[in-house]
Structure 1
Amino acid sequence: MNAPLSGQGSAQQAPGREPVGSRPPGQRAARDHAPTTLTGLAVKVVLLGLTAGIATWAAFPLVEAEKWVGLALLAATTAGLFYLYLTPRHIPAKYLVPGTLFLIAFQVFPVLYTASTAFTNFGDGHRGTKDDAVVAIQTASVKQVPGSVEYALSIATKGDPATGPLVFLVSDPSTGAVSVGDAEGLRQLDPADVTVAPGGKVTAADGYTVLNFGQAGARGQEITDLVVPTAGGAIRSTGLTRAYEGKAVRAYDAGCDCVRDSETGKSWSADEETGSFVAADGERLAQGWKVNVGLSNFSRVLTDPNISGPFFGTLIWNFGFAIGSTGLTFLLGMAIALALHSPRVRGTNLYRVLLILPYAMPSFAMLLVWRDMFNTDFGLVNNLFGLGVDWFGQDWSARAAVLLVQLWLGYPYMFLVATGALQAIPAELTEATSVDGASPWQSFRAVTLPLLLVALSPLLIASFAYNFNNINAIWLTTEGGPFPADNPRNGATDLLITYTYRLAFGAQGAEYGTAAAVSIFIFAIVATVSAISFRRTRKQEEVYA
């Protein structure tokens, strides 16, 4: 008997079933597609509805700002998502698109925004547009002059009386009209929505909480600083119950593109390259506007002595901290792992549980505990060893303290990964070296350590990158100190990341553009070191493969 030909056999089908190849591809896809469950349909409707709601919410600011490119991108993205999830096609894309969008939103966009900020003068005094700067200059120069209109004033807020944004409720003495004013301007209220006491003082207003004298007194500086721009000048407070509409001493002249002071006659011309109004004698007005400054911020980091000196000094210590933290934790963790890897040690499980306790505790809490332990007067370290070291008062003692804290916090992680790597090394390799007459140290150096490095090199590179930007380790222990008397911005234990943070949010004025430029340098340094390290790791893997 001869077996049937393969072609004939494949054509035979079970009774009542049509041949697989007889249906067109579209019909096969439709038949193979599982029906949508009610739960799946509900989840899809909710998520697509949420997407439409977010897109609609985001569209209004884009339309108001006339960002048509952004609006078109938003519309195209929303339409693409609806098409993707309302059709049965493109199954892989349904899983890839959400992750891609989150990657763009939380990784790519912040990096690009930081990079774009590095090419501007964005910071205190240079946050808005030129028109915003003109308004700020004019309102800041408002003074009360003879004939200035005075108003009965009430202080109010729409939020919490202690923290909510403040507004002025003023009553016009000539018409009795009540208006609400803030930094955006003055808006008249409906008389039916307010209650006015004899004398014109507003005692209640719908949607607002009127502050009493105690609440207003606690926010006296905010009330003094609040300026409400008007067509004729601006409204400022005189105490807690009265306000006046003063005249701006400094005004913008479009003809000369400058700001003139009506009292002194001095003028400040607009400098579009720096985003400032500059006088002939070089004086700059504090309020400017945001402009593109090209590579100026990068040049300042490298050439300006006030920035380049701290930058390069901090960079050297930053490398020392990252290498020291990674190297010391690796050496201690590996040594403990080797000790517990010996079959002669008993109770290894108990030891391992005790040794990883620092890793199980919240690092920010432990950093605060260690800061107290290094206290000069009542700290545990000085009292236990009978020392009188001012740990955080001297440069090198503060750096040593930070490295010791990092050693205690970081060795459990290295101990865990080294333990796992040691268990993956075949025992036959080390036994073979012993048979050849090698000592334990020679066996470790020739076999165990190279194989450990092959397995752990990527983790060491990641640990270096993490410690290079480990802001918590510094900020919660030394806060970057100790600081020299002539430079409160840069301390002995500052990393580039803490120095950048202080540039961006320091009490002496924010310099977001310069801080962004330093961030780009940090990114380039870490990326270069990581790329070189990974390349050497691959060569090492090829040797021991």
Structure 2
Amino acid sequence: MTSAPEEVEQNLEFVRGEPWWAKLLKWGLILASLGVLFYGATVLSAAGHWMFVVLVAFVGMGVLVIYGTRRAIPFKYLYPGILLALALQVWPILYTVGMSFTNYGYGHLVSKEEAIRAIEASSVQQVAGSERYGLSIAVPEGQEPATGDLVFLLTAPDGTTSAGTVDGLEPLDPETLTTGMRDRIIEADGYSVLSSSQVNARSSELNEFAVPTDTGGIKMIGLSEAFIGEPTRTYDEATDTITDNVTGRVYVAQDARFVPEDGVGVALPQGWVENVGFDNYTRAITDPQLRTGFIQVILWNFAFAFLSVITTFLLGMFLALLMNDPRLRGKGVYRSLLILPYALPGYITALVWASMYNRDFGLINNLFNLNINWLGDPTMAKIAILLTNLWLGFPYMFIVCTGALQAIPSDVREAAAIDGASAFRTVWSIIMPLLLVAVGPLLIASFAFNFNNFGLIFLLTGGGPFTGGQSMIGSTDLLITMAYRLAIGGTTPNFGFAGAISVFIFIIVAVVSYLGFRQTSALEDVN
């Protein structure tokens, strides 16, 4: 028990408000959060992302207003969740939708100004008497040598050092460098210097690579030297054309590229991002090849998701009913064995099943003396996918149904037995409706997951087999795997078109989920 003076002190402390250490901790966390946000804002402003700087400023104001006062207590708990929802859900959706209205993809990754600067820089030729730089070729630390952003580590004749990228030159601190012969940089903090073999592997890129300068650009000559020269291709802003000063050829802007004015020859490789309206959406509907394939993919996508949910649910429910029988002994052991497929990583299971489906050496054909081309025939490939997904999915439904069955009162089944209902009638008319009340939303979630089950398709069939002499749309492709192939897997990735496909997927899943949840809400009357 506390004494009277202690109680009075506690009451006074409550009246005064928070203790000093709590205030110190609170304001310390607030200031730390504001410091992190301020640092993020400086990085974003340096990169020119002013819209995000404004958003970060609003987030900081929210932190100060919500947590720096005693008002808006509910928002103290909701604010982090709202920010995470905006950052991880709303923003990716908006970004994908915005990208779907552009031509963003291979050859169209930068703005028009950046593309023009790259064209001029890549056409640089050495001028007589121009200076030579000591050169090492590197990539930013942490990036792969074969795919990372190219960087020129340059040593000027006067000894100054700099890093050259497609954005220009940036001075380097000599204290962070290790130099070799002729002051050539061999190590630099923040960069990984490429070996001779790694440089040779990227020779085609390096032939086009140049560091832009005020008067031209810097290009490599050999493995250890670079020169500063003048561009042979120049841009005329008044006519929006590029002229090759060597050949006299003029290039005009067309379809986000500079193409020869006379229509003879190829376009310059550097393109730019521009708004294309609904072209990506209409392409999926009007292009003859894509239209046929797109419809087939949608039909198979629905069939795959629907059959996967139905088959895994029925098998999981059947096993759950079987294991729920009070007369069965050792149920714990059986249940543990049945959930093993769910415990194993899905990608390992998919690869194992892919090897089992091998026509010549697979376990299934050898065990049953069959000669089925499981993954090479369109129909058999679909069956193989459904069987594999049944193996992967039934343990989850088994666990869910087991929990739901144990929540159903036993007197309900006893009453059905007294009324003379058969086992099938009891399951169909009594247990099933009560079971769906609990698992209905999970079935909808399972449908949404299987509608976008990229991993299984990618690892098992890769979307194939491909028929008709085309490699764009496979027989087992889902919308998500087709979007992946268009965005990354092809020779000319088109992220804008893949974004449009992703929007189609989002709309379909949202509509199906909405209708499904409306139906499951009706089941609540059963309860």
TM over 0.5: yes
3-state SS of paired residue (1:268) = strand
Does 1:471 find its partner at 2:448? Answer: no
Letter in 1 for 2:446: S
User: How far 1:326 sits from its partner (Å)?
Assistant: 0.7
Name whichever of 185-194 and 386-395 sits farther off. 185-194
User: How far 1:526 sits from its partner (Å)?
Assistant: 0.6
1:381-392 correspondence runs (5 A): 381-392=364-375
Q: Judging changes above 3 Å, is the alpha-carbon distance between structure 1 residues 156 and 46 closer, same or farther for their aligned structure 2 residues?
A: farther
Task: Answer yes or no: is the 8 Å Cα contact 1:325–1:407 preserved in 2.
Answer: yes
Structure 2 counterpart of 1:55, from 24, 29, 37 = 37
Question: Within 2, Cα distance between the matches of 1:121 and 1:187?
Answer: 31
**Where do 5+ consecutive residues of structure 1 fail to align?**
1-15, 18-27
Does 1:91 find its partner at 2:37? Answer: no
3-state SS of paired residue (1:508) = coil
3-state SS of paired residue (2:107) = coil
1:128 corresponds in structure 2 to 110
Does 1:78 find its partner at 2:84? Answer: no
Does 1:275 find its partner at 2:259? Answer: no
Task: Answer yes or no: is the 8 Å Cα contact 1:154–1:211 preserved in 2.
Answer: no
3-state SS of paired residue (1:489) = coil
Task: Answer yes or no: is the 8 Å Cα contact 1:170–1:201 preserved in 2.
Answer: no
Task: Answer yes or no: is the 8 Å Cα contact 2:118–2:166 preserved in 1.
Answer: no
Structure 2 counterpart of 1:300, from 283, 289, 298 = 283
Letter in 1 for 2:438: A
User: How far 1:51 sits from its partner (Å)?
Assistant: 1.6
Question: Within 1, Cα distance between the matches of 2:197 and 2:260?
Answer: 44
User: How far 1:334 sits from its partner (Å)?
Assistant: 0.9
2:152 corresponds in structure 1 to 168
Question: Within 1, Cα distance between the matches of 2:178 and 2:414?
Answer: 91
Question: Within 2, Cα distance between the matches of 1:488 and 1:148?
Answer: 52
User: How far 1:160 sits from its partner (Å)?
Assistant: 7.1
Letter in 2 for 1:99: G
Task: Answer yes or no: is the 8 Å Cα contact 2:30–2:68 preserved in 1.
Answer: no
Q: Judging changes above 3 Å, is the alpha-carbon distance between structure 1 residues 111 and 213 closer, same or farther for their aligned structure 2 residues?
A: closer
1:368 corresponds in structure 2 to 351
User: How far 1:189 sits from its partner (Å)?
Assistant: 6.9
3-state SS of paired residue (2:79) = helix
Letter in 2 for 1:528: V
Task: Answer yes or no: is the 8 Å Cα contact 1:276–1:289 preserved in 2.
Answer: yes
Task: Answer yes or no: is the 8 Å Cα contact 1:253–1:259 preserved in 2.
Answer: yes
3-state SS of paired residue (2:314) = helix
What does the per-residue CA deviation read over 1:46-73, in whole Å, with 9 as the maximum and x for residues that have no partner? 5323322222122224444665554344
Does 1:237 find its partner at 2:220? Answer: yes
What does the per-residue CA deviation read over 1:22-58, in whole Å, with 9 as the maximum and x for residues that have no partner? xxxxxx99946863473x5565345323322222122
1:151 corresponds in structure 2 to 132
Letter in 1 for 2:70: P
Give the structure-1-normalised TM-score.
0.83
Structure exhibiting the larger radius of gyration computed from Cα positions: 1
Q: Judging changes above 3 Å, is the alpha-carbon distance between structure 1 residues 102 and 151 closer, same or farther for their aligned structure 2 residues?
A: same
What does the per-residue CA deviation read over 1:328-359, in whole Å, with 9 as the maximum and x for residues that have no partner? 10111111112222233222222111111111
Question: Within 1, Cα distance between the matches of 2:102 and 2:83?
Answer: 27
Structure 2 counterpart of 1:503, from 469, 486, 496 = 486
Q: Judging changes above 3 Å, is the alpha-carbon distance between structure 1 residues 447 and 222 closer, same or farther for their aligned structure 2 residues?
A: same
Does 1:108 find its partner at 2:90? Answer: yes
Q: Judging changes above 3 Å, is the alpha-carbon distance between structure 1 residues 465 and 165 closer, same or farther for their aligned structure 2 residues?
A: closer
Question: Within 2, Cα distance between the matches of 1:134 and 1:34?
Answer: 63
2:8 corresponds in structure 1 to none
1:145-544 correspondence runs (5 A): 147=128, 149=130, 151=132, 153-157=134-138, 159=141, 163=145, 166-169=150-153, 180-186=163-169, 197=181, 202=184, 207=189, 213=196, 216-217=199-200, 220-221=203-204, 223-271=206-254, 274-280=255-261, 284-484=267-467, 486-542=469-525, 544=526
**Where do 5+ consecutive residues of structure 2 fail to align?**
6-10
Cα root mean square deviation, aligned: 3.3
Question: Within 1, Cα distance between the matches of 2:179 and 2:324?
Answer: 81
3-state SS of paired residue (2:524) = helix
Q: Judging changes above 3 Å, is the alpha-carbon distance between structure 1 residues 32 and 333 closer, same or farther for their aligned structure 2 residues?
A: farther
Question: Within 2, Cα distance between the matches of 1:109 and 1:209?
Answer: 33
1:22 corresponds in structure 2 to none
3-state SS of paired residue (1:269) = strand
Task: Answer yes or no: is the 8 Å Cα contact 1:153–1:240 preserved in 2.
Answer: no
What does the per-residue CA deviation read over 1:65-94, in whole Å, with 9 as the maximum and x for residues that have no partner? 665554344323212212322223322221
Give the structure-2-normalised TM-score.
0.86
Name whichever of 122-131 and 162-171 sits farther off. 162-171
What does the per-residue CA deviation read over 1:199-224, in whole Å, with 9 as the maximum and x for residues that have no partner? x5626576577666466556555544
Between the two proteins, the alignment pairs up a number of residues equal to 512
Task: Answer yes or no: is the 8 Å Cα contact 2:13–2:19 preserved in 1.
Answer: no
Letter in 2 for 1:130: K
3-state SS of paired residue (1:476) = helix
Q: Judging changes above 3 Å, is the alpha-carbon distance between structure 1 residues 536 and 206 closer, same or farther for their aligned structure 2 residues?
A: closer
User: How far 1:294 sits from its partner (Å)?
Assistant: 1.9
